Amino acid sequence: MKKPKYHVFICSSSRINGQQKGFCHSKNSVNLLEEFMEEIEERGLGGDVLVTHTGCFGICEKGPVVVVYPHNVWYGGVTSDDIEVIMDEHIEGGSPVKSLEIN
Ligand code: FES
């Protein structure tokens, strides 16, 4: 198995029992997850970028939260409109999107 160059974690508010319930989920993070995956496939980056949904990061008020490794960049308040810029500037360009970063 080839390890991904980027790993994108998207909070879907998954609970330990598998239930998705919480702030990021209420803000459509599951749709965000699907849209990220579609965008990655459309760009032919499926082998380089892995998307995983997660449980709560503990900063719900900043959600939906998206974390990108290996850069350890945390994005907050991410919407569908932000996916293209994250893909262009961070995933393909290598520079985190400062305006969306949680500091
Ligand atoms: S539910 Fe997403 S950070 Fe808490």
Residue 44 has pLDDT above 80, yes or no: yes
Q: Where are the domains of the chain?
A: 6-100
Alpha-carbon distance of 8 to 80, in angstroms, equals 15
**What pLDDT score was predicted for residue 15?**
79
Residue (of 59, 61, 58, 14) closest to 33 by Cα position: 14
Atom of ligand 1 nearest to the CA of 25: 1
Instruction: Give the CATH fold of the 6-100 domain.
Output: Glutaredoxin (3.40.30)
- Find where tokens 């994005």 sit: 75
pLDDT interval class at 16 (50, 70, 90): confident
Tell me the three state secondary structure of residue 25. Answer: helix
Best residue among 10, 13, 20, 53 to mutate for probing ligand 1's pocket (most ligand atoms within 8 Å of CB) is: 13
Q: What is the pTM of this model?
A: 0.93
Mean of the pLDDT values across residues 71-92? 98
pLDDT interval class at 79 (50, 70, 90): very high
C-alpha 63 – ligand 1 centre gap (Å): 6
Ligand 1 pocket, 30 CB below 6 A?
Answer: no
Mean per-residue pLDDT of the chain = 94
